[in-house]
Chains A and B, each alone.
Chain A
Amino acid sequence: MRAMTPMTAATRAFRRVVFVSLVALSTSVRTEAQDRPVVFVHGFGSSGETWSGAAGRLQSTLAIQPATPSLNATALYESQADDLQWQVGGFGADTIAVGHSNGGLIARQWNRQHPLAGLITVGTPHAGAPLVRNLSAYAGFNWALVWSVNDVFRLFGQGCCSWHWILSAYSNIWQLAADMAASSLPEIASAVAVNAAFPVTPEMAPGSGFLASMNSNGNLAREAAAVPVRAGIVSTAYNFYWGGALRAAFPDDGDLVAYWRDAARFGMETYAAYIYANAPYEDWWAFDIAAGLSTAAWYLTVMDEWWCQSVSVVGLGVCWVNDTIVPQWSQVYPGGLYIDAGWQGPAHTQETRMSDALIDRVLTTYLAVPSRTSTPQPSGDEATFYGDIEFSGGSLSTSGDLSFVGWDWNDSVSSVHVPPERRVVLYEHADFEGESLELSGDDADLRNHAGPGPDGTWNDVVSSIRVF
């Protein structure tokens, strides 16, 4: 076992006090003696806070006592596991660990020194994250993409003026596409540890010594004997391919950024064709512009495939289904249960917020965690949400808040029934984030409200709901 991370006794004591306080403060449901301890372990670019929403929701329905410790996510897996032991090592052998992304591997490493009754991983790169090795290649592609859009503006700047009317329609969209592409990599890097300077990064690469040891036959046999229930929740993100790195960087707006990228390249295709078909041949400046537009359109077109290959296997070459960061093949827990989130799953950085149902299933079905006795909800004052306008189509009813409406209902609400004397607030994103719309009465057509949806309204854009 590796030595523990250097840390002063005072620091440890302080962190322990802070951690215990946080758990106590975050626990709105009174814990019972029989509640099972569940440790939620975060991955890179986050803290224990990333799990607090799911932990609270699960605690409200299941007899669990959650803990959401914060770790130094850039440290070696072994150091983080040691820190985890320091923070929650006092929990008993009936403890269940739930780890997201790197947190799954930290939990597995923790199990080498702490007994666990169950271990659930969510989007964990058990066999490594190929992106760690491929990022520099993708960065080169992304640089070329941004260059190509810059080149379009440069080419327009070289002449005047018979074609500049094209810019009046498209300059904003083209700038947006380049800005999103340029911003996507730092967004992703900060979220998933693809920075060679961090100690944990080399350990994340497929074939690393850490992963080889973790997935060795000997360790898998040890885990099988030591941890009765091991399950890997495997997510293929909804529309994972469409938008490439843009969706990975901005998953809550995944469809929007993909649409805007599409619009940018459609404009480029249109005017490349227009010029090639119509420009007078002596107007060579026009042909230079068309070539520039065509090049940029190509980069915007193939960025999806480039990203998919970058996250799929080391050295690129093939595209695997993935959660925008980790390929399916690597999310599979070796020797564990395969829990499939399907093709409508969350993107990698959404997984802690949007995996409640599957975690609940593993806890109740395979780990026999009992439900908490719940107070019956008052009937007759439920708000109802419909899939179509005019209160038609399928419906979803609730009298309480929904921090995520679920994948079947995400971005699908078109009309709302609000009971008398109640109010409903619709949110663009899960966890009551993004833009919001408050309704105090029935609304037969959410298209009548200007909003953040792709069509500029509140139709098909709701992800979470509050009912007052």
Chain B
Amino acid sequence: MSEENKNGLEKKLQSVIETVDVANALTEPMTVSIENLLKISANAMNSEEASVIVREGDEGDLRFLSAIGKVAERLKNLRIPAGKGIAGFVFSSGQPMAITDVGEEDTFYAEVDKQTGYSTQTILATPLRYNGEVIGVLEYVNRIGEPPYEPFTPKEMDKASLYAEAIAALVNAYEIAKIFKDLGDKMLSGEDNSDFVVVREWLSKLRDSSEHREMMDLAVLVREISNRGEGERAMCREILEAVLRYSKDNSETSYLSF
């Protein structure tokens, strides 16, 4: 892209951002849809409370993105440290599970339970997956009506994984929208708005894991070399194939450091 076009695009982007309520226009449809789906699915699951928990950063921390039920407002944006509690386990293991007789020590509803007198007794938690990656956890808590509550059944577990699939697609769309919302906020706030390189750098720091970013960088590099001509393409292929042969010879990989 030429410098002139870049500046043109930058100006257009800025004017679009300035005329639209970016904060709400991008993410709100997603959060509303997630909440609606949560309500419909909770009803079908005969469950009283439901929540969508998403990752926060690259270290496995989680936060409640959406929740319905009596304690919904208190849960929203509550954080869960990596690997803690049922949600933490389901997120990092990718394994769905259901528990009855849930005690205070087990859940991050515990604090809220204490404050509200609400009692978490039975939970079904299933991972939210998108493109093979766990991006969050879907939880259903307790049943509609009075305790004691029936445990969640294997059939309901299967049903929940179908809802999880639909919700995961929305969560992914939400996360992408949030990147652009944050970018818009940043540009409007006056930071970096004259420097596309800075914005691009900042964007590259977002969401994706460092490994994923490294892979994308490599792909971009290969594309750039490929665009330079046939000779470059052939050379690039030869070099890459040599690397592949080398790494096959060293395929006894190790993750341990003793």
**A, B: real partners:** no
Question: B residues near A, CB below 8 A?
Answer: none
Which A positions have Cβ atoms within 8 angstroms of B?
A: none
